[in-house]
Structure 1
Amino acid sequence: MKTTNLFICLLFFASFSFAQDVNIQNKMKKFDKEMEKNLKDWNIPGVGVGIVKDGKLVFVKGYGYRDYEKKLPITANTLFQLASNTKLFTATALGFLVNEGKLDWDKPIKTFVPAIEFYNNDLNNTITLRDMLSHRTGVTRHDMIWYKSDFTRKEFFEKLKYLEPSQPLRQGYLYNNLMYASAGHLIELVENKTWEHYVQEKILKPLKMNSTVFSIPEMEKQSDIFVPYNEKRDTTILYKINYLSETEGLGPAASIISNINDLSHWLSALMNKGIYEGKQVIPEAIVKETMEPSIALHNYSLDQGFTEVLNPVYGMGRQTEAYRGHQLVLHGGHLNGIFSQISYMPQDNIGVILFVIGEHSMSYNSINYNIYEHLLGLSTTPWSERGLKSRDARKKIAKEGRAKATVGQIPNTKPSHPLNDYLGNFENKAYGIINVSQKDAKMMFTFHNIKLALNHFHYDRFDTINDEEDGLYSLNYQTSPQGDIDRFIISLDEGEVTFTKKPDETLNTVEILSKYAGKYKIATSTLEVILKDKNHLFMKGAPDIELIPYQPNIFKIKESAEITIEFIMENGKVKSMVQKDASGQYEIMRDNSQ
């Protein structure tokens, strides 16, 4: 990266509707020089900073560029993805429904929305709105359910019942975007309005946030927009990446796109107990409740021997902490190629809006803390130096680790089955479908909108390429008791996830399944096969046993993997069904006397 491309683009915006505060500018002069060094050290394409004091936007500057390739400056009107800074908008919107008695922060959410289903009845009878919004449900992230997926918000909502908790309710902080997406869907179920419509009506319009939008296509209609960049692995080369645009379903957790001008209205209201331009736009009770500590966070800085940040706690859509004796309220946000942070110090009546283009997560906290130190007249903490030391160590470890990617690979092994047996659609109820295909002897892995080449590693293990943006996935295939490839295990998020091979879709049609229904004779007893809900086949009993389509005319029983039921056909009609299991093979004749 050429040094001539690293100069700071310091912009003064006389044409915008705010007055630069001379005192603030004087305090920030040293910060301006620090930012020139930060851009070089961290290889950052661009940074946008806005400062709010006493309810007004008093400072805006762009450092670097909103579009690194075209060398376009960052302005007060440059649109950025807020990512997780969307969450406080969602918590606030839900607060209006709490104020109206349509929801409650601390009563089971199922009391108000019976349609919501969690993993078990204990959670159904216990989880509250505050639990969902403060990341204390005990359900971990599961981000690969939503990342680059086309699932709708309703589908995310319906997937909650498949997410098994990894720790007890309210016993720890486990960040979960899907809980926020589902919480936003509650608005539609309660108000019969989309989350977008409700947020626009209750928050954006009253706060005159007229440039704020909810999607990349809406953003791209404007000209003053950011462009995301990443650093090419093991180099300092910056390259443009695609916007993470698959955020519609995730909306209430991460989809809002805004600029420093609009966000200054939002921050001003939060800092003034919900009042904006003399009007109570957000009820004070909502502002207060979202800031109330709900779950303690770990003192990560203390673990590293740093004492500036102490006792962080999470409320709903934001956290609070003590920073060098000052209360700091903040939340960060991250999507591919962009970081955001919106924060303020209530007792000092100052707030900061910060955007950092690039992929170095440690840089934006460093910048934010240093801004407050300059504004408060404190000595500056060497956050950047600390972060760079950690970044360089991580990069070194990662590079060395990738060089040993084939360690443990057993040479000269072959798959146990023909390659065709490893192909098809494999499904997990929560994560959806992974397709494994083959074209011209090359295998391909497709998961949501992620497409990667897939290669044999050893035995029945196949690995994707290690992609800079989308990562590496390792598929460990398994066989059924019948010896067929019927599933694979893959590490996603915080655990191993099983994807089961889907049978041909035609095996689930009414036309196919209905011909198996009927009565079957075994000795002096009669068995009955029935069709439920048009496309689910059951063997009648107490309880009924579902027959899961497996192969043409062959079904399995969920509770007994070693058992198969095969319907024997003769002249296009069912003659009998044959049960095969470890003990033997048993034919049961169709009763055609009915």
Structure 2
Amino acid sequence: MLSRVACRRAIVVASAVALLVTPARAQTRAAQIRELEAYITKGVQDWDIPGLTVAVVRNDSVLFAKGFGVRRLAAPGAVDAETEFGIMSTTKAFTALAMAMLVDEGKVAWGDPITKHLPEFQFSDPFLTREATVKDLLTHNIGLGNADLMWARGDLSRTEILKRVRYVPTAYSLRGGFTYQNIMYGAAGEVIARVSGMSWEDFVRTRILTPLGMAQTYTTYASMHAASGANRSEPHFRIRDTIRVIADETVDVLPAAGSIWSNANDMAKWVRFLLDSGRVSGKRLVSERQFRALLEPHSFVTRSEFYPTAQITKPHWTTYGLGWFQQDFRGRFLAFHTGSLDGRTAMMGLLPDAKVGVFIAGNLDHAEFRHALLLQVMDIFAGTNGGAPRNWSTEFLALYKGLRAKGDSATVAIEAKRAKDTKPTLPIGMYAGTYAHPVWGDLVIRDTNGTLSAHLGPNAANSGTLEQFHYDTFRTFLGDGRGGANFLMFQLDAAGTVTRVVMNGDDGYTFTRVPSDR
């Protein structure tokens, strides 16, 4: 044991060292912040992003929370750390945490059959109905193909969407592949509601957001729009090489999949909570065991289902936890998740061993600068570059430009296969009618003064004028055309009557004509 004198001397020496070290550390941090700001400023310009907000946390300190650019092109209003953005699918981590909290309370178990809590929930395969578990709802390997068109229609209720899951064909065996599934997260939200006795929205707000002090975070677009005032971002989309403001879309019908809205300041609190393994102000909201389960790998992600950035980062493995994608990055474990909705992007990333986390949100559709910024933050604040810095933004920009060029080439190739100077088999009015699908609902074809149009639900983004492509195949650009071309091939029976329409080729959706007296 040191004497009092020795202790005093030690304190004096330590204080002197602190005086020498602290300014250096502050200078280092200041240099890091300057480097980050310069990187973001250039990235926003290079990627043509109207507005971006970013929060960086290391250990328990918020190092950075700032906005860049504007909330809406050609309008006043800068983005700041309190500007509201949709966080889209980064919401899934909140849903997984909510379920983990209920596992802690013994109200649900990861291995419970889904039907224990949602007895009406069915799949097309009875085996899947019997064997699929609560955890399977969160890991994207339950065996179904993507069914997002159901909620994108805009006219189906949460109950109806989950009911129609029984008609979605299986794509592979249970836990035998990976297909991203928003609707399964919607079902997980219903499990949370059933076992907790409160809606997913109320549970997340009262059990997670309130304890974390996230007072400017909203569980739905509707609640954000009603409360947040003017400081919210507007969505933008590149349509035919022009960036345009578009109308907001929402995921409120399946909130557990991606409906949360927040800002950089509030999301910094969420990152601090995650880096502290589920604690806020020293108090646990979830046990250490269940928190670990969130970040453990639970399913393999195939290369084809992972992000194109893997072509450059070349991870040795890619997995999915509970609400988190995972990969190795420069020899370390990286957990992250993107969020995407028309006109908006988001990113959450954690390097747990370095206690560094980042939140990013932008108001341009698929602005993949988010991937570059995630890795750059880790290189700057976690020192992952190992003395070998890379310009992720430059590399990813070239990657995605190449992917867009491939898409353009594919469009040219389709046009080259078009049979010129052909006519439809029937008079235009004979193609009009209602065509039904048990999962996707009604596709209505209308004839207005000799011009056909397609309507998949009431959402204007799913409606468009048809132009004959060749023979009985028609092309449409739904809504404002942001989704590219869709092809509808009308099929006739031996009597020359239109009986079906196939959307987007042999691997697309087949709608059967409904009798006019239905």
Q: 1:418 aligns with which of 401, 408, 427?
A: 427
| Root mean square deviation of aligned Cα | 2.5
1:297 aligns with 2:310: no
Letter in 2 for 1:38: G
1:192–1:107 CA distance, 2 compared to 1 (3 A): closer
- Structure 1 residue 374: deviation in Å? 1.0
Task: Tell me if the contact between 1:216 and 1:243 (Cα under 8 Å) persists in the aligned partners.
Answer: no
Q: What does 1:218-237 align with in structure 2 at a 5 Å threshold?
A: 218-221=223-226, 222-233=229-240, 235=241, 237=242
1:406 aligns with 2:415: yes
1:485-532 CA-partner distances (Å, limit 9, x unpaired): 22211138x932111122245x4xxxxxxxxxxxxxxxxxxxxxxxxx
1:257–1:303 CA distance, 2 compared to 1 (3 A): closer
Q: What does 1:158-557 align with in structure 2 at a 5 Å threshold?
A: 158-221=163-226, 222-233=229-240, 235=241, 237-245=242-250, 247-298=251-302, 306-307=312-313, 309-377=315-383, 378=385, 379-403=388-412, 405-448=414-457, 449=459, 450-465=462-477, 468-480=481-493, 483-491=496-504, 495-504=507-516, 507=518
Q: 1:96 aligns with which of 90, 95, 101?
A: 101
1:115 aligns with 2:120: yes
1:263–1:354 CA distance, 2 compared to 1 (3 A): same
1:165–1:423 CA distance, 2 compared to 1 (3 A): same
Comparing both structures, which one devotes a greater share of its residues to helix?
Answer: 2
SS of residue matched to 1:186: helix
1:405-438 CA-partner distances (Å, limit 9, x unpaired): 5323333433333333311221111111111111
- Structure 1 residue 352: deviation in Å? 0.7
Task: Tell me if the contact between 2:436 and 2:442 (Cα under 8 Å) persists in the aligned partners.
Answer: yes
Length-normalised TM-score, structure 1? 0.76
Structure 2 partner of 1:583: none
- Structure 1 residue 129: deviation in Å? 1.4
- Structure 1 residue 66: deviation in Å? 2.6
1:328–1:404 CA distance, 2 compared to 1 (3 A): closer
Matches of 2:50 and 2:394, distance apart in 1: 19
Letter in 1 for 2:269: H
Length-normalised TM-score, structure 2? 0.86
1:97–1:35 CA distance, 2 compared to 1 (3 A): closer
Q: How many residue pairs get matched?
A: 483
Unaligned runs of 5+ in 2: 1-24
Q: What does 1:36-51 align with in structure 2 at a 5 Å threshold?
A: 36-51=41-56
- Structure 1 residue 25: deviation in Å? 3.4
1:46–1:459 CA distance, 2 compared to 1 (3 A): same
Once structures 1 and 2 are overlaid, which stretch shifts more, 374-383 or 394-403? 394-403
SS of residue matched to 1:476: strand
- Structure 1 residue 258: deviation in Å? 0.8
Q: 1:86 aligns with which of 88, 91, 98?
A: 91
1:352–1:424 CA distance, 2 compared to 1 (3 A): same
Task: Tell me if the contact between 1:274 and 1:280 (Cα under 8 Å) persists in the aligned partners.
Answer: yes
- Structure 1 residue 387: deviation in Å? 1.5
Letter in 1 for 2:515: P
Task: Tell me if the contact between 1:53 and 1:351 (Cα under 8 Å) persists in the aligned partners.
Answer: yes
Task: Tell me if the contact between 1:229 and 1:357 (Cα under 8 Å) persists in the aligned partners.
Answer: yes
1:214-258 CA-partner distances (Å, limit 9, x unpaired): 33343334221111112342x3x432122113x221211111111
1:41–1:250 CA distance, 2 compared to 1 (3 A): same
1:191-228 CA-partner distances (Å, limit 9, x unpaired): 44322122212211222211111333433342211111
Comparing both structures, which one devotes a greater share of its residues to strand?
Answer: 1
Matches of 2:98 and 2:310, distance apart in 1: 37
Task: Tell me if the contact between 1:370 and 1:380 (Cα under 8 Å) persists in the aligned partners.
Answer: no
Letter in 1 for 2:445: V
Q: Which has the higher contact order (CA 8 A, sep 6+)?
A: 2
Matches of 1:21 and 1:473, distance apart in 2: 55
Matches of 2:120 and 2:33, distance apart in 1: 52
1:150 aligns with 2:155: yes
Matches of 1:399 and 1:456, distance apart in 2: 21
Structure 2 partner of 1:56: 61
Task: Tell me if the contact between 2:428 and 2:451 (Cα under 8 Å) persists in the aligned partners.
Answer: no
